[in-house]
Each structure stands twice: as C-alpha cells, then as structure tokens.
C-alpha cells in the first residue's frame, strides 16, 4: 500500500483531499506545519495556527488517520519572512505564496514526509498533475484545476520535476462547491470554514503592519505624473534589431520625472508597490491615484490618476537567465528561439496571449496587449492551454 502524507492545514480543501486519498486506497497520514513563531513577527492578537492545528486534528480523527504536527517556523522565517523584508527594502514586491510552496511545502515539508516513509506528498491545491513519457523517461506536467475560479497552479509555478514527481493534488478535478459538499456530507468541522484567501502568509497578518516591524519609516514625497505625458511614442519606432525592440518595450518609463508635481507625503517608499491604490492618502484628485513607480533610493513614490494611466502600462517584461524556471525542462528555449504562449503576471489574472523571446541575457515576455502594473519581484507564469510550462521572477 502506498503511503501519502497530506498537508492538513485545518481548511476544507486539505480535509477533503485526505478523505479522497483514503477512498482511493492509500495509507494516509495528516501532517500540520506550524509556520509562525508566536513571538516573532505576528501582528494581530489572534493566534490562528492553534485553531487551525486543532481543526486539522479533529478532521484526522474523524477520517481515522494518524496525525502529527511539525514546527517549521525557523525555516519559514529564514526562507520566507527574511526574504520578504529584503525584497521590499530593495523596492521589489515578492510573492510569499509561490515561495512558500517551493521552499517550504514542497521542500522542507516534503523532505520530512519522505523521511517518514511517504511515497507521495499531497496538498489541497486546485490543480492537477499529468504525466507523459519522453525518451523512456516520465515527464510531469502541472495542469490548472478544473475549477476556473479557484485554479491555484500559479502558486506552484516554481516547482521542479523532482518535486512534482512526488506530489499529488487530489481535489484538482473538483470545484469548490463540490469540495464543500463532500465535507458537509462527512460532517467535517472544516466544511463551512471560510477560505484562507489562498494566501499562506498575508492571510495571517496585515502586510503594512508586518512591514513596519522591520522597515523603518522614512518620510518622503508623493509625486503625481500627469496622464497626458507620453510614456511611449505613439507610433512604434523602427528597430534595427530584435534586441532593440525588446528593450524598448521593457524599458523604464521614459517621462521626465521632474515634470510631476508633489501632491503629498508618505512614510517610506519601500512600503509601496506598483499598481497600489490604498494607503496614499491624497485627496482632491478627479480619479484615484495609483502608484506607477517607486524609487527606494530617492524615497519617492510616483503616481498617476486612474488605472489606465499610461505610466502603469507596459507591453513586455524581462526575466534574467538565473531566474527563468522551466517546469517542462524539455521545452526550454535556446538563445534565439521564441515560443507562443499564454501568460499571467498575477494570481487569477486571465491568461494573456504572449510570445517568449530567449536572448543572450535573459527571457523577454512580450504581450499582445498592454499590461497594467507589471511589478518587479512578482512571478510571470506561462502556459500552453491548461498546462503551466514555466515561470520567472520579473526583473
Ligand atoms: N499549516 C499547514 N500545514 C500543512 N499543510 C498546509 C498548511 N497550510 C497549507 N497547507 C497545504 O497547502 C495547501 C494550500 O494551502 P492554502 O493556504 O492555499 O490553503 P487553501 O487553498 O485555503 O486550502 P485549505 O482549505 O486546505 O486550507 C493546503 O490545502 C494544504 O494541503
């Protein structure tokens, strides 16, 4: 009998995942991980991990499976929390959920599970795993969940073949309502529990308060850039090489920053991210202000009115070579090659038609239409239909 260790979070999705695996005849063990030190960077008075671990235990009990907890708060602090601070300090916006999957759930947690004799590690993610044979070797595929509303493949965009080989996603063929129905029929305590917003990190703390714990406030100005200023020339120029064209589409905004006017003050550019609307506290504008760029060195936030402000829009992005990741290693592009794909630059964004260009210095992703708030530090993931083929950190 194959042994599966399922990450039991105390939520409904992993509860049902554990049930389904048992039905399929696996030997199932539930494992809860504690991520947070009570005394470290927790903000709110609540202590949700205790409630969650208790719910996970009750579910395991009801399903009649063994249950254990592991404390991974040290590793979580080192690999996720510290990295978060570091990235914000540099003016980038990291994605803790993607990292948590790559570094914690499918690395530290997975190694513990394998040491406990597991053949597989399962989670309650809404995605599916496929398998192909190529040159007599198995090639694993990461496929989106059938529930379009809940598809979580994006959060797993940094998994490797080795990690996928050992992963199972039992609820990927189901919709959320179907999962809830199963949990209700089984009378699980988690049946009506509200979703954790799919965030393993921000769900537990409020981001601005979290950042203020480590990043010192530093007063600076908010500058508004008028929307009438051209960001790109209206007519596309003639390019002498593909390189020139790609650099043109990914370059920084070309407005003269001194043309903007100071409209307010902020407490630190490193607290802000591109596309952000909340927290600017500047009134009296016709349309709401959005952050179009931050300069953490000069401590200036550049803003513009309206979500279609040209300063927010770009057609392409760049990923440096060491941050390009192919789940489908067999499809990796060589220098000079291109690939037609569909891509997204944030969770739940509908897939966008795009072309990948692998050049000497890195990978360019050129979209068919302008994209809003392409943000450094976030992940771009590219797909072929419902298969997530690769991803990278936006430079
Ligand atoms: N503290 C934890 N301990 C063990 N596994 C976890 C934990 N947190 C998350 N997981 C695993 O990762 C999966 C995705 O986590 P996420 O935080 O996105 O929750 P979710 O989609 O709301 O799922 P759930 O309803 O199971 O909490 C979970 O279904 C679970 O298998």
Residue 199 scores a pLDDT above 50: no
303 or 160, which is more confident: 160
Binding residue per annotation — 304? no
Q: What is the CATH number of the domain that holds 55?
A: 3.40.50.620
Comparing CA positions, the residue from 231, 339, 295 lying closest to residue 92 is 295
Ligand 1 centre distance from Cα of residue 199 (Å): 9
22 or 196, which is more confident: 22
Tokens found for residue 373: 């708030």
With bands split at pLDDT 50, 70 and 90, how would you rate the model's confidence at 38?
Answer: low
Alpha helix (H) residue ranges in the chain:
12-23, 48-63, 73-76, 82-89, 96-99, 109-115, 161-165, 176-185, 207-214, 242-250
Residue 127 scores a pLDDT above 80: yes
What's the whole-model pTM score? Answer: 0.91
**200 has catalytic annotation:** yes
Note the pLDDT of residue 131: 98
Which of 188, 211, 234 corresponds to the end of one domain?
A: 211
Is there a single domain that holds both residue 227 and residue 179? Answer: no
* Mean pLDDT for the stretch of residues 253-261: 66
Is there a single domain that holds both residue 130 and residue 243? Answer: no
Is there a single domain that holds both residue 62 and residue 203? Answer: yes
Is there a single domain that holds both residue 357 and residue 243? Answer: no
Q: Is 30 in the pocket of ligand 1 (CB under 6 A)?
A: no
Print the domain residue range for 233.
Answer: 220-310
Active-site residue (options: 47, 127, 157, 200): 200
4 or 80, which is more confident: 4
Comparing CA positions, the residue from 293, 367, 307, 356 lying closest to residue 328 is 356
Q: Is 127 in the pocket of ligand 1 (CB under 6 A)?
A: no
Is there a single domain that holds both residue 25 and residue 160? Answer: yes
Is there a single domain that holds both residue 56 and residue 171? Answer: yes
Q: How, if at all, do strands 379-384 and 338-344 pair? A: antiparallel
Ligand 1 centre distance from Cα of residue 227 (Å): 42
Residue 207 scores a pLDDT above 80: no
Comparing CA positions, the residue from 257, 280, 294, 282 lying closest to residue 376 is 294
Which of 194, 211, 228 corresponds to the end of one domain?
A: 211
Average pLDDT of every residue of the chain: 89
Is there a single domain that holds both residue 306 and residue 331? Answer: no
Which of 190, 211, 232 corresponds to the end of one domain?
A: 211
Comparing CA positions, the residue from 290, 346, 294 lying closest to residue 317 is 346
Note the pLDDT of residue 308: 83
With bands split at pLDDT 50, 70 and 90, how would you rate the model's confidence at 198?
Answer: very low
Is there a single domain that holds both residue 178 and residue 319? Answer: no
Note the pLDDT of residue 206: 66
Comparing CA positions, the residue from 270, 178, 273, 169 lying closest to residue 217 is 270
Is there a single domain that holds both residue 303 and residue 357? Answer: no
* Mean pLDDT for the stretch of residues 176-199: 87
Binding residue per annotation — 124? yes
Tokens found for residue 291: 């952050």
Is there a single domain that holds both residue 58 and residue 204? Answer: yes
Q: State the total domains in the chain.
A: 3
Q: What is the CATH number of the domain that holds 322?
A: 2.40.30.10
Q: What is the CATH number of the domain that holds 232?
A: 2.30.30.280
Task: Give 57-106 pLDDT, tens digit per residue.
Answer: 999 999 999 999 999 989 998 999 888 888 888 888 899 899 999 999 99
Ligand 1 centre distance from Cα of residue 322 (Å): 29
Tokens found for residue 239: 């390019």
The protein residue with its alpha carbon nearest to ligand 1, atom 6, reads 9
ipTM over 0.95: yes
Residue 279 exposed, middle or buried by CB count within 10 Å (0-12, 13-18, 19+): middle
Q: Is 175 in the pocket of ligand 1 (CB under 6 A)?
A: no
Is there a single domain that holds both residue 119 and residue 25? Answer: yes
> For residue 336, what is the DSSP state?
T
Is there a single domain that holds both residue 250 and residue 368? Answer: no
Residue 230 scores a pLDDT above 60: no
């Amino acid at each position: 009998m194959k042994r599966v260790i399922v990450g039991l979070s105390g939520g409904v999705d992993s509860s049902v995942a554990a049930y389904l695996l048992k039905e399929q005849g696996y030997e199932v063990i539930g494992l809860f991980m504690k991520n947070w030190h009570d005394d470290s960077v927790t903000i709110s008075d609540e202590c949700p991990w205790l409630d969650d671990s208790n719910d996970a235990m009750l579910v395991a009990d009801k399903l009649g499976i063994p249950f254990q907890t592991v404390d991974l708060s040290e590793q979580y602090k080192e690999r996720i929390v510290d990295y978060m601070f570091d990235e914000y300090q540099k003016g980038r916006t990291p994605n803790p959920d993607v990292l948590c999957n790559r570094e914690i759930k499918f690395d530290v947690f997975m190694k513990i599970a394998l040491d406990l004799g597991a053949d597989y590690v399962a989670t309650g993610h809404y995605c599916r795993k496929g398998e192909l044979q190529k040159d007599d070797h198995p090639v694993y595929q990461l496929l989106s969940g059938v529930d379009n509303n809940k598809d979580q493949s994006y959060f797993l965009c940094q998994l490797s073949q080795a990690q996928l080989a050992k992963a199972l996603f039992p609820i990927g063929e189901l919709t959320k309502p179907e999962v809830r129905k199963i949990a209700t029929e089984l009378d699980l305590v988690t049946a009506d529990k509200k979703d954790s917003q799919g965030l393993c990190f921000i769900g537990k703390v409020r981001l601005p308060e979290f950042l203020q714990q480590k990043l010192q406030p530093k007063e600076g100005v908010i500058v508004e850039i008028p929307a009438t200023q051209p960001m790109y020339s209206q007519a596309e120029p003639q390019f002498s090489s593909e390189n020139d064209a790609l650099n043109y589409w990914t370059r920084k905004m070309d407005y003269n920053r001194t043309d903007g006017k100071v409209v307010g003050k902020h407490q630190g550019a490193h607290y802000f991210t591109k596309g952000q609307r909340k927290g600017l506290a500047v009134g009296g504008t016709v349309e709401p202000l959005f952050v179009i760029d931050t300069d953490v060195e000069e401590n200036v936030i550049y803003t513009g009115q309206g979500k279609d402000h040209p300063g927010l829009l770009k057609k392409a992005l760049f990923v440096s070579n060491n941050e390009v990741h192919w789940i489908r290693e067999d499809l990796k592009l060589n220098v000079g090659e291109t690939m037609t794909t569909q891509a997204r630059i944030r969770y739940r964004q509908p897939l966008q038609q795009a072309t990948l260009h692998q050049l000497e210095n890195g990978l360019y992703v050129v979209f068919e239409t302008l994209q809003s708030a392409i943000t450094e530090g976030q992940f771009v993931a590219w797909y072929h239909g419902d298969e997530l083929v690769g991803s990278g950190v936006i430079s």
